[in-house]
């Protein structure tokens, strides 16, 4: 990403120039550093799973990720498929969990196209399987990132943290731009 594009994205921060996260204030300079670290970690990865895991491990350093997953939108069968779950540095793959699309919070976020952030998500919408997939008993912050590219609804990245307000920084335009780039990269790859 060019410096001018970073400057443009960071100048449009929503509501404030800094975002509180894990009792730390991320000013614009810190946000740019986090962005550059995240972007560099995904540019050379070759599979969707690698992008998801690379991004999750980087985010974990900043936001104490304790559970994460990614979902793929299966429009033919009206479901969200979850091929990979990350929990406490363990990766579970090979078994695909399917969640009916019409009752899925992940699908709603994907269709809406906006990052979903909830703090203290005790009563998250969606079905019981989805809640178990997204949350642990000590989750204090939840973020669901829609992955869309050129009108295609690809899926979502889902992150949970025990840290309150961990993902409030995602409301920055800089992170909108990052996740747009991730979506474009994700669209060009296969599992």
CATH number for the domain running over 46-186: 3.30.450.40
Instruction: Record the pTM.
Output: 0.81
Q: Give the C-alpha separation, 32 to 9, whole Å.
A: 10
Question: Under a CB-based contact definition with an 8 Å cutoff, are residues 25 and 168 in contact?
Answer: no
* Strands 24-26 and 141-149, sheet pairing: unpaired
CA distances from 15 to 164, 169, 175 (A): 19, 11, 14
Q: In what order do the strands lie in the sheet with 67-74?
A: 90-100, 79-87, 67-74, 152-161, 141-149, 116-119
Please measure the distance between the N-terminal and C-terminal CA atoms of the chain and give it in whole angstroms.
25
* pLDDT by position in tens, the chain (length 191): 444 444 444 444 333 333 344 444 567 777 777 777 777 777 777 888 988 998 898 889 888 999 999 999 988 888 889 999 999 889 998 778 888 877 789 999 999 999 999 999 877 777 788 888 899 999 999 999 999 999 899 999 999 999 999 998 888 787 888 889 889 888 887 65
Give the per-residue pLDDT at 190. 63
Give the per-residue pLDDT at 26. 60
Question: Under a CB-based contact definition with an 8 Å cutoff, are residues 109 and 116 in contact?
Answer: yes
């Amino acid at each position: 990403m060019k410096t001018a594009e970073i400057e443009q994205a960071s100048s449009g921060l929503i509501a404030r120039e800094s975002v509180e996260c894990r009792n730390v204030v991320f000013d614009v300079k810190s946000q740019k550093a986090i962005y550059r670290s995240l972007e560099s970690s995904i540019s050379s990865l070759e599979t969707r799973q690698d992008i998801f895991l690379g991004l999750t491990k980087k985010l974990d350093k900043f936001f104490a990720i304790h559970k994460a997953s990614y979902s793929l939108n299966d429009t033919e069968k009206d479901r969200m498929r979850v091929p990979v779950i990350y929990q406490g540095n363990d990766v579970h793959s090979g078994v695909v969990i399917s969640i009916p699309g019409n009752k899925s919070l992940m699908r709603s976020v994907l269709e809406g196209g906006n990052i979903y952030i909830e703090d203290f998500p005790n009563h998250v919408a969606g079905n019981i399987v989805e809640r178990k997939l997204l949350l642990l008993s000590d989750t204090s912050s939840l973020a669901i990132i829609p992955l869309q590219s050129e009108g295609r609804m690809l899926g979502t990245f889902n992150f949970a943290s025990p840290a309150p307000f961990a993902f409030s920084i995602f409301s920055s335009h800089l992170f909108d731009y990052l996740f747009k780039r991730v979506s474009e990269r994700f669209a060009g790859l296969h599992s």
